[in-house]
Amino acid sequence: MEGKSTKFIEFILGAIDESFRLLLNLQTRIVTTEDRVHYFVSINNEKLFTRKDYMNIFKEI
């Protein structure tokens, strides 16, 4: 079986498929204002921030 990569290719395709499923689930998830604020605070090192700072992260709002 030297030189055959079938199992590896099946593994990689399975990982890609799972990644796409997770991505699609995230895109269809409804994110609330509270979710966005919690996320922003978790990545923001400053205690104070402006609306502009917030909008730079959440451009789709």
58 neighbors 36 (Cβ within 8 angstroms): yes
Q: Give domain status of residue 16, yes or no.
A: no
Per-residue pLDDT tens digits for 6-61 = 999 999 999 999 998 888 876 666 778 888 888 888 887 777 778 888 888 888 77
d(CA 18, CA 10): 12
pTM over 0.75: no
**Is 22 a member of any domain?**
no
- Other C-beta atoms closer than 10 Å to the C-beta of 16 total 10
What is the domain range of residue 41?
Answer: 30-61
Number of domains making up the chain: 1
Kindly tell me if the per-residue pLDDT of 1 is higher than 70: no
